[in-house]
Structure 1
């Protein structure tokens, strides 16, 4: 190994190109050869000149002449710019004898280089200067990485033709010839899509050993006449890891009738070779065409809990004229500050004078009830600041004292609903959460509290709306069995009349499931659960704890057909709500093999179609104003890659 003392960047890079096979950066072959010859001579010069100098210990930017002890600059301020030019010039001008010896040593060293080595060096340099062939392994790898960059980061295909991007690629790898946008659209995108498709197909085959759940939704673009119909799969593998994969986000043109929906869903499942008996449930919205389409296709489906909750809250809140007036005023106030930078600057100044953090008021979206809740909360937080602002400046609307009190009571009333919406929209929520959540909401709304003063009518309407819209959930086996098989809930949230029936349904499923030799151990499996945090009184969590803590008779079927593992499972205490049911079943699948088989199917179902809505949030970033002419099939490929490629990268 030769250690180069000169830190000239050209010398350093080309030396390694010539002797260790690294890339020689040159504009053409002739330059590469000349540069290699320069490096070879520089190497000779460097090996000879340092017999007359020593690097200064106090400052490496200088070299000490061994003849006159003079400090000679090394030709730069950093190690990357050092060279030997000044050192050679100093010998030539001041020490002729030493310079003569230096030239003699350099000439001798050059003669020692064999002709064959020079020829081989020349060939290596020429080869390293050639651009990569497009089908070479290195070029293919770089192209794939660029396509991944486009797919994961919502980049337009035109990025490969942008000057800055091309300059960056040229600097990082000069030998790579960057293809144009058409190549990435027509070749690189389908190739990457096929690779990811094959990966998801392998994963899904394992998921089909049990049942698979799905979510779906329809999205229409605001910038182009495109509608997409999504299908996202959810399943639990044998190690109780939850998997999610986007299978389709395909164009859905024409009228969105039930007949068209049914035909499209059947074609989707045929494409992935998913038999209908492996479809556990499909989570959808509550639109009539979607409900009828699922029925016509013979597919089991449930409404999205978040959508149902949205309908109940809108119905109850908007039924009160006083509340709708408050919301209308709030929108006018927020709109005033959003559309006037001067007004917002004045409000910000008032907030600082009052010692409050500078916050913007939040605008609501009429189709999202919780955004209206957040708007009212932000207005309530800025009550004092808005009062001071209104004293000196004009506002389009103001609240009276009674309206401020109503806002405070209303936000207190809706706070548990907001908390619940967050929980059921999380990636870990399942169909098992529906029955317990509705029971808790009913109990909260039935309680008489001081905060109910002024919104009692709204509170009663909310209770009636929740009761009516979720009236049939306990009779729905997909909900009741999911709750029973969840170790956080079991049958603690059931009415006594429904426990026996649900127990029988579970026994039937266990009988159908594949049985393994049960090595049951009656002792409970210690999993070291974290301690529950003490919930705030009157909160959603406190009522969950209240119900779980109530003493009730957990009677289990004692018929001969009742498996012993089910009796043991139901007789054990529930686990903490903050614990993971999948971790529980992973640890206890050997104790309860029949129950674990049921759990894989029933805990795979989410309780909302939020995953599909999140998919279309990504779709709005792909089909935007800059790419409003993107073909639907290209958009589907990009969505498929964006959502599914991370599962390959994290494996």
Structure 2
């Protein structure tokens, strides 16, 4: 009924199969007996035949033409627009389009952050994925990403790091180390930096992991180090300290550069443990047997399956034995602990199957007692290897460890000599820390420790040094009562030593003076130390306005780490960059990849990602 022809007809009342012409009252059939077959063809023919030349036909034709135009306009959006959109969707992005550039940026980020070789962009599966996600995007070649995208991203990140250093890096602490690749004849010299901004937020960046070719002499390292600092426009007066290992060439290099440097605490502790404990004949014999036992299961899947079956039968947790790395004493600790945990299963295995060696009852007891010596050392190693550990932790940790080793406990049987030797080794290797301002000033500026870990003469010296640095007259600190180390036969822990020392040495009677600087020092020291579990940075954020001069020094001295662990973690990441798939990659590109991976999370509008190297 929507046709314009019905303007001139009406349906017959007595029979709807006919229509009545309003002009001549003629009955015109509608094309059938059923409504499904009705049409308007006979009606239009009637107008054109019976009323040719009349106004009624002209009026109908005008109405029909108008209806046709209206119908065409109504169909255009639903038919023509999708066709246009389909053509647009099939058109490839130009290389200079914003969308193509954005996808290129994400691809190079994927390559860098996930340690992918540049050849991944030529892999069939990756290309298929990209084509499915965005058919209009044309994936460039590997050369484009390695020679164009990578340098561009490096420059962008480097500019941001430059700005961070120029804006906030007043006093910067560094770590450095040398690493040699296992898959290519390449050595790299690292340089990481960290500092606090004005709000006591820690900033950590990687500056270099550059090729270190030739002989690694002190002169060569010094020259490379000075070139790296110059590259970032960092003057030597802004270098607070450099954390390094204990190698003579690194020590000589820092002396030649006239830069303050400290040895890595973890390396020094490892030397002391190896020298005092793991070198004892009875203990080395036990460790040798333990390595043979672990090696038996490492090299035989059948033996491993049998051990797992025994663990199930005995209701023990299924776990594999850990193999140690001789150069890492704590890995030996973990190996011995895993053997002790599986002692019952190992004994049951030895009854039915042959082992290359097995420990005697006396040797098992010796290992158990030795673990009581090594456990606090392992705990200390974990503490100082954390990302928040600083040089302020060194003196308190060594004081607490020495006090623990001075305790006499029931588990000393058979290892008393080793325990005494370890104490002597620690005293000898860490004897310098009490005369090094970088250590003791950081300790007193840490609100968890303050001056509670110094004896009376040392307290006076440290306080005077602090006052001198703040350009004020020095004044002696009241003497606290000195308590002797207690000895008992019960179990003690490293954590208990921290609390014991704090209780003995915190003096609530310290008085204030009129001098602004002395007033700040005395007021700061008169407050009780904050719990060791709390953050010293949060303390200084809250109190920097109350102790502005001390806060300024804390920002400098607490920026120094106590280990070179950041460089070691960097080289763990380097091993993933220079692996079997990329064993021919050049050092320049490898450094770019490492630099971007470590520093990209610092860029604005980039989601922070934690990599397992740090």
Q: Same-fold call, TM > 0.5?
A: yes
Indicate the residue corresponding to 2:304 in structure 1. 344
Please give the alpha-carbon distance, in whole angstroms, between the structure 2 residues aligned to 1:443 and 1:118. Answer: 87
Q: What is the DSSP-based 3-state SS (H/G/I as helix, E as strand, rest coil) of the residue aligned with 1:473?
A: helix
Q: What is the DSSP-based 3-state SS (H/G/I as helix, E as strand, rest coil) of the residue aligned with 2:386?
A: coil
Gaps of 5+ in 1: 1-94, 513-535
Question: Relative to 1, partners in 2 of residues 1:100 and 1:302: Cα closer, same or farther, differing over 3 Å?
Answer: farther
- Aligned pair partner of 1:180 in 122, 136, 141: 141
Cα offset, 1:335, TM superposition: 0.7
Cα offset, 1:140, TM superposition: 0.5
Cα offset, 1:113, TM superposition: 4.5
Please give the alpha-carbon distance, in whole angstroms, between the structure 2 residues aligned to 1:153 and 1:326. Answer: 42
Task: Provide runs of 4+ in structure 1 moved above 3 Å.
Answer: 98-101, 106-110, 113-128, 551-562
Matched, 1:293 2:253: yes
8 Å CA contact retained: 1:240, 1:600: yes
- Aligned pair partner of 2:132 in 145, 168, 171: 171
Please give the alpha-carbon distance, in whole angstroms, between the structure 2 residues aligned to 1:215 and 1:419. Answer: 22
TM alignment of 1:133-532, pairs within 5 A? 133-208=94-169, 210-511=170-471
Indicate the residue corresponding to 2:495 in structure 1. 541
What's the CA shift string for 1:225-268, capped at 9, x where partnerless? 00010000010001110110000000000000000000000000
8 Å CA contact retained: 2:507, 2:526: no
Question: Relative to 1, partners in 2 of residues 1:97 and 1:425: Cα closer, same or farther, differing over 3 Å?
Answer: same
8 Å CA contact retained: 2:199, 2:541: yes
TM alignment of 1:54-93, pairs within 5 A? none
Q: What is the DSSP-based 3-state SS (H/G/I as helix, E as strand, rest coil) of the residue aligned with 1:171?
A: helix
Q: What is the DSSP-based 3-state SS (H/G/I as helix, E as strand, rest coil) of the residue aligned with 2:209?
A: strand
Question: Relative to 1, partners in 2 of residues 1:153 and 1:96: Cα closer, same or farther, differing over 3 Å?
Answer: farther
Q: What is the DSSP-based 3-state SS (H/G/I as helix, E as strand, rest coil) of the residue aligned with 1:280?
A: strand
After superposing the two structures, state which structure 1 stretch, 501-510 or 137-146, moved more: 501-510
- Aligned pair partner of 2:504 in 550, 564, 572: 550
Please give the alpha-carbon distance, in whole angstroms, between the structure 2 residues aligned to 1:500 and 1:273. Answer: 39
Matched, 1:616 2:576: no
Cα offset, 1:537, TM superposition: 5.4
Cα offset, 1:549, TM superposition: 1.1
- Aligned pair partner of 2:527 in 572, 579, 588: 572
TM alignment of 1:2-17, pairs within 5 A? none
Cα offset, 1:207, TM superposition: 2.6
What TM-score do the two structures reach when normalised by structure 1? 0.78
Cα offset, 1:540, TM superposition: 1.1
Gaps of 5+ in 2: 1-33, 41-63, 473-489, 609-614
What's the CA shift string for 1:8-63, capped at 9, x where partnerless? xxxxxxxxxxxxxxxxxxxxxxxxxxxxxxxxxxxxxxxxxxxxxxxxxxxxxxxx
Cα offset, 1:97, TM superposition: 2.7
What's the CA shift string for 1:152-183, capped at 9, x where partnerless? 11111111011010000000000000001111
Q: What is the DSSP-based 3-state SS (H/G/I as helix, E as strand, rest coil) of the residue aligned with 2:207?
A: strand
Q: What is the DSSP-based 3-state SS (H/G/I as helix, E as strand, rest coil) of the residue aligned with 1:578?
A: coil
Please give the alpha-carbon distance, in whole angstroms, between the structure 2 residues aligned to 1:453 and 1:482. Answer: 38
Please give the alpha-carbon distance, in whole angstroms, between the structure 1 residues aligned to 2:164 and 2:205. Answer: 9
8 Å CA contact retained: 2:453, 2:505: no
After superposing the two structures, state which structure 1 stretch, 312-321 or 345-354, moved more: 312-321
Question: Relative to 1, partners in 2 of residues 1:221 and 1:145: Cα closer, same or farther, differing over 3 Å?
Answer: same
Please give the alpha-carbon distance, in whole angstroms, between the structure 1 residues aligned to 2:301 and 2:142. Answer: 40
What's the CA shift string for 1:355-398, capped at 9, x where partnerless? 00111000000111100000000001111111000000000100
Q: What is the DSSP-based 3-state SS (H/G/I as helix, E as strand, rest coil) of the residue aligned with 1:643?
A: helix
8 Å CA contact retained: 2:293, 2:356: yes
Indicate the residue corresponding to 1:47 in structure 2. none
Cα offset, 1:558, TM superposition: 5.7
Question: Relative to 1, partners in 2 of residues 1:454 and 1:127: Cα closer, same or farther, differing over 3 Å?
Answer: same
Q: What is the DSSP-based 3-state SS (H/G/I as helix, E as strand, rest coil) of the residue aligned with 1:511?
A: coil
Matched, 1:639 2:578: no
Please give the alpha-carbon distance, in whole angstroms, between the structure 1 residues aligned to 2:492 and 2:502. Answer: 15
8 Å CA contact retained: 1:507, 1:561: no
Cα offset, 1:96, TM superposition: 9.1
Indicate the residue corresponding to 1:36 in structure 2. none
Please give the alpha-carbon distance, in whole angstroms, between the structure 2 residues aligned to 1:643 and 1:500. Answer: 43
Q: What is the DSSP-based 3-state SS (H/G/I as helix, E as strand, rest coil) of the residue aligned with 1:465?
A: helix
Cα offset, 1:508, TM superposition: 2.6
Q: What is the DSSP-based 3-state SS (H/G/I as helix, E as strand, rest coil) of the residue aligned with 1:230?
A: strand
Q: What is the DSSP-based 3-state SS (H/G/I as helix, E as strand, rest coil) of the residue aligned with 2:240?
A: strand
Please give the alpha-carbon distance, in whole angstroms, between the structure 1 residues aligned to 2:515 and 2:332. Answer: 55
What TM-score do the two structures reach when normalised by structure 2? 0.83
Matched, 1:97 2:36: yes
Q: How many residues align?
A: 530
Please give the alpha-carbon distance, in whole angstroms, between the structure 2 residues aligned to 1:107 and 1:357. Answer: 83
Question: Relative to 1, partners in 2 of residues 1:150 and 1:570: Cα closer, same or farther, differing over 3 Å?
Answer: same
What's the CA shift string for 1:512-537, capped at 9, x where partnerless? 9xxxxxxxxxxxxxxxxxxxxxxx95
Matched, 1:630 2:555: no
Please give the alpha-carbon distance, in whole angstroms, between the structure 2 residues aligned to 1:345 and 1:460. Answer: 42
Please give the alpha-carbon distance, in whole angstroms, between the structure 2 residues aligned to 1:168 and 1:96. Answer: 55
Question: Relative to 1, partners in 2 of residues 1:356 and 1:122: Cα closer, same or farther, differing over 3 Å?
Answer: closer
8 Å CA contact retained: 2:409, 2:491: no
Question: Relative to 1, partners in 2 of residues 1:118 and 1:437: Cα closer, same or farther, differing over 3 Å?
Answer: same
